[in-house]
């Protein structure tokens, strides 16, 4: 097999692994872009990915990160959270995703459950400490958890878009 086919196949295989790692809370889209850049650098006789393609991948990955961050806080806000509750959703979702990945080592499930539980707890606790009644704080926590799940799905969708972009481009002449 020539390097014209072997290198794109290797990029495709690695990027598929990186996409799977995204489900564990790792930066899969960014690893895909780095892999594409390294593959391009290692094949000086052929341009696999133009700067435009890599730039598009970066923009898609940034959009996914932004959607993930915003969704949890927005879910909390729509449930009536203050700025404290929205901040608790962001911090709790991040911390909960990390803890859940290791405490519940079932691929995808641990990260999703941990992130949603963290967003719930972080927003509910900060809302309650900020003076909200327990029932209102729990409602805000539920909104934060739902928003966090939506954000994780949006981020995964953006990573799939990066994967498709790089997979298609890798095999173009």
Does residue 54 carry a pLDDT above 90? Answer: yes
Contact 151, 71 (CB under 8 A): yes
Does residue 47 carry a pLDDT above 70? Answer: yes
What single string gives the DSSP state of each residue in 25-52?
TS-HHHHHHHHHHHHHHH-TTS-SS-HH
Token pair in block for residue 43? 């094949």
Q: Residue 132 has what DSSP assignment?
A: -
Does residue 4 carry a pLDDT above 70? Answer: no
* Tens digit of each residue's pLDDT (9 = 90 or more) over 72-83: 778 888 888 888
Does residue 172 carry a pLDDT above 70? Answer: yes
Q: Residue 82 has what DSSP assignment?
A: -
User: Region 80-100: what's the mean pLDDT?
Assistant: 86
User: Region 22-32: what's the mean pLDDT?
Assistant: 80
Measured CA angle at 16 (ends 95, 105), to 5 deg: 35
Token pair in block for residue 15? 């990027």
Contact 64, 165 (CB under 8 A): no
Question: What are the domain boundaries of the chain?
Answer: 3-170
User: Region 148-158: what's the mean pLDDT?
Assistant: 88
**How many angstroms separate the CA atoms of 11 and 72, rounded?**
32
Q: What is the mean pLDDT of the chain?
A: 86
Going by pLDDT thresholds of 50, 70 and 90, the confidence category of residue 3 is low
Report the pLDDT value the prediction gives residue 22, as an integer from 0 to 100.
77
pTM: 0.76
- Which residues, other chains included, contact 68 with Cβ-Cβ below 8 Å and sequence gap of 6+? 151, 152, 154, 155
Going by pLDDT thresholds of 50, 70 and 90, the confidence category of residue 48 is confident
Token pair in block for residue 35? 């892999």
Check residues 141 and 46 and name the one with the higher pLDDT.
141
Integer-rounded Cα Rg, in Å, for the chain is 19
Angstrom CA distances, 131 to 85, 87, 88, 124, 137, stand at 11, 15, 14, 11, 9
Residues comprising the chain, all counted = 173
């Amino acid at each position: 097999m020539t390097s014209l086919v072997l290198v794109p196949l290797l990029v495709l295989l690695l990027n598929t692994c990186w996409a799977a790692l995204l489900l564990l809370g790792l930066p899969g889209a960014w690893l895909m872009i780095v892999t594409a850049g390294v593959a391009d650098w290692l094949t000086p006789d052929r341009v696999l990915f133009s700067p435009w393609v890599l730039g598009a991948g970066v923009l898609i990955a940034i959009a996914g990160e932004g959607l993930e961050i915003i969704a949890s806080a927005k879910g909390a806000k729509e449930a009536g959270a203050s700025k404290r509750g929205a901040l608790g959703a962001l911090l709790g979702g991040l911390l909960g995703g990390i803890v859940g990945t290791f405490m519940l080592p079932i691929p995808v499930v641990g990260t999703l459950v941990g992130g949603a539980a963290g967003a719930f707890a972080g927003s509910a606790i900060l809302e309650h400490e900020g003076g909200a009644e327990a029932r209102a704080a729990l409602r805000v926590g539920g909104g934060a958890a739902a928003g966090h799940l939506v954000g994780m799905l949006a981020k995964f969708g953006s990573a799939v878009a990066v994967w498709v972009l790089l997979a298609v481009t890798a095999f173009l002449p």
